[in-house]
Chains A and B, each alone.
Chain A
Amino acid sequence: MSSLSIKKRVGINVTIVIFVVISIISIHAYSEFKEALERNLDYRLQSDAVSAYILLNSNHNDELIKEHISLLLSAKTDYHLRGYAVWFDQDKTMLTSSDTFKEIKAILDQEHTIAPKTGEFNFTNITYKDKPCRVIWASFENKTKSFPNKKTINVLVAISSRHAWGEITNFMNVLILIGVISIWASVGLIMWILRWALRPIDDMAKKMNRISAPNVSSDELNIDETALELQPFATAWQSMLNRLDKAIQQEKRFIADASHELRTPLAAMKSTLQVAKLKDRDADYYKQAIDKSLTSMQRMEMLIEQLLELARSQEQSLELSQNEVNIANMLSEIAEQHRNNASQKGQNIEVNSCNAKIRCHEHQLARAISNILTNAIKYGPSNSTITITSKVDDNNLLIKIHDCGGNIAEEEIEFLFERFYRSDKVRTSGSGGVGLGLSLAKEIVNSHGGEITVESSAKAGTVFTISLPMK
């Protein structure tokens, strides 16, 4: 059912409803019509029976009555079966009857038709010589003087109902025809209405079809112009598109940045070598050119290394390669590795760790902390202390790296973890970073289900906090 189109679903349901309604109306009309026709027949039969009785009941002698009856017998209409049957009480002997009515009486007896009470009558449908007939059997009180010992007079009158049935059949055919036409027409109408009503969906689908990367901006959707019912849908789409657009833009910028960062040292290297070749130089010049090329190459090497690291950190969130690590040991090891660098700026690294154990990718997490520490050494003031603390708080392991470095501007914090972001100051200072360290740290911490936050003020310095869930 789920793969049926809305059009078909609604169409089928409405068609069924219309079919049922039309059927009910037809059945009702049919039975009303049939009843009316039968009433009409019954009325005739009844009046015939009554007039026969009146004839019999007139105070005449036997001979005259017999004459009346033979008159009756000769009466005929198009519909009437020729004749009557008249008899007294339960007599098997008919007072008078045509052969036809003898046979009809025989059919009634055969079907065990119960005789009506005196003064009443009943109707029966029978088939006589393959023709449908309706028969009245009326039973009257005998008030004639001719047959004083008889209590009741029975009168049987029959009428052919073939004509009536023909009319009923005709009526039914008409009903069926009307039914079929109206179902067909209403299905067509419904389909048309549905198509018209569902056009906004088609339109939206067409609009969506036109949207493709890299330009997924959702201006095309034009929410104000879409149908009211579709607006929540369109709005959801729009926000999804906006998110996608943002992601694509970010990715685009990353590629642009990556190519810039890779091509710039390449261009530097190439130009160094080509300028050296412009004319004959002395040995010192060539040595310098080689040094410059090497510097550029190291930069590229570092960049490629970090880009690969970044790609790997996005891949590796597998539980398998995780192991239990004592955080105190890890932090003091990292501090040890950086002590040399820090001391060149007269900086001191203090570690103040709790003894918690955490499941993580040891190498990756160490890289993340190490990157933040490198950052702290780089931008922290000379002759200051960098403190690394860790503690367990509310089932989270908090690792804080605090340096007395200056204020990071509010608007810069937002971009701090973006790939290739280096504040202007940093770029010009030639600090040698490539702008991937912090984003790599963030990527690693995120893949562990944790997060990194930064607080910075001129007074308190800068604090990077890594928060990791203890599973």
Chain B
Amino acid sequence: MRALVVEDETILANNIAQALREGAGFAVDVSNDGLEGLHFATTTPYDLLVLDLMLPGMDGMDILKNIRAKGIKTAVLIMTARDTSEDIINGLNIGADDYLTKPFDIGEFIARCRALVRRSYREPSPEITISNIRINTLKKQVFVFDKLVTLTALEYKTLEYLVMRCNEVVTKTDLLEHLYDQSWDRDSNVIEVHISSLRKKLDPEKTLNPIKTLRGHGYIIER
């Protein structure tokens, strides 16, 4: 999962980014400027957008209006010091999915972000079961036949993304865009390596074949 944080207070922006990386396992991009934020949000398919309202360059409300006008359906969490119900109603009516007033509890923030992303993939439960594989998204643990399987962070992220989009074809580009933030050099070969090691760990006997390859298209997990 990949999130964009648009917040001009650098300390707060970096803290949020770190919390999302460590607490939710998201890949996170940060922008301190409204116009730059809008540019990022319209050019990259994020799973979550964390927006401050008072921003240099462009106001948070305007960014939100802009991306909703362009048909971008990314989940948006507004995070601001404005706390009147008028502001909250305004924000939600323009197209935000949630609203958090500063200062907030970082644990609550992470939980809300997770819930927003789950919702956007129509997966309200934090525990997902697909045939014999059970994934606890809170603890980031994967069980096969109720046996804990140890995955690397990126293997887990790959599996989580594929599961969230189960019954859909996920291309390598999708995986690259949703698992890595801007600072990474993307290499589609890395994806293949992750997928093959995932297959080994989830299906050592090669009987279940949970992750199917559609040659030339991508990968799919079927429910």
Contact = CB atoms under 8 A, between A and B. Distances in A.
B171 interface: no
Nearest to B7: A264
7 contacts: A259-B81, A267-B9, A268-B9, A271-B15, A275-B15, A278-B19, A278-B23
Going nearest first, the 8 A-B pairs with the smallest beta carbon separation are A267-B102, A263-B81, A274-B106, A267-B103, A260-B81, A271-B15, A268-B12, A424-B56
A240 interface: no
A262 B101 CA distance: 12
Given A259-B82, A264-B81, A268-B9, A279 B103 contact: no
B83 to A, nearest CB: 7
B28 interface: no
A249 interface: no
Contacts of A428: 8, 32-33, 56-57
Nearest to A252: B84
Contacts of A424: 56-57
Given A263-B102, A274-B19, 5 more contacts: A260-B54, A260-B80, A275-B22, A278-B106, A292-B15
B105 interface: yes
Interface string A232-257: 00000000000000000000000011
A275 B19 contact: yes
B107 interface: yes
A278 B81 contact: no
A295 B102 contact: no
B107 to A, nearest CB: 7
A256 B82 contact: yes
A264 B52 CA distance: 10
A266 interface: yes
Interface of A: 256-257, 259-272, 274-275, 278-279, 292, 295-296, 424, 427-428, 430
Contacts of A271: 12, 15-16, 19, 103-104, 106
Contact of A275 (B18, B56, B80, B82): B18
Given A259-B83, A263-B81, A296 B11 contact: yes
Given A275-B18, A296-B11, A430-B10, A260 B23 contact: no
Contacts of A272: 11, 15
Interface of B: 8-12, 15-16, 18-19, 22-23, 32-33, 54, 56-57, 80-84, 101-107
Greatest chain B CB density within 10 A among A265, A269, A271, A278 is at A271
Contacts of B16: 271
A267 B32 contact: no
A267 B105 CA distance: 9
A215 to B, nearest CB: 11
Nearest to B9: A264
Contacts of B107: 274
B15 A268 contact: yes
Contact of A274 (B56, B81, B105): B105
Contacts, number: 77
B8 A268 contact: no
A294 to B, nearest CB: 11
Contacts of A256: 81-82, 84
Given A278-B22, A278-B23, A270 B10 contact: no
A275 B18 CA distance: 7
A262 B54 CA distance: 13
Contacts of B10: 430
Nearest to A262: B81
A261 B16 CA distance: 18
A145 to B, nearest CB: 124
A271 B9 CA distance: 12
A266 B22 contact: no
Contacts of B106: 270-271, 274-275, 278
A269 B103 CA distance: 9
A270 B103 contact: yes
Contacts of A266: 102-103
Contacts of B84: 256
Nearest to A259: B81
Given A271-B103, A274-B106, A275-B22, A427 B8 contact: yes
A278 B24 CA distance: 11
Contacts of B80: 260
Contacts of A268: 9, 11-12, 15
Greatest chain A CB density within 10 A among B9, B16, B57, B105 is at B9
Contact of A264 (B12, B19, B56): B12
Nearest to B102: A267
A264 B83 CA distance: 13
A295 B14 CA distance: 14
Nearest to B16: A271
Contacts of A275: 15, 18-19, 22, 106
A267 B81 contact: yes
B104 A267 contact: yes
Nearest to B87: A256
A257 B12 CA distance: 17
A430 B80 CA distance: 19
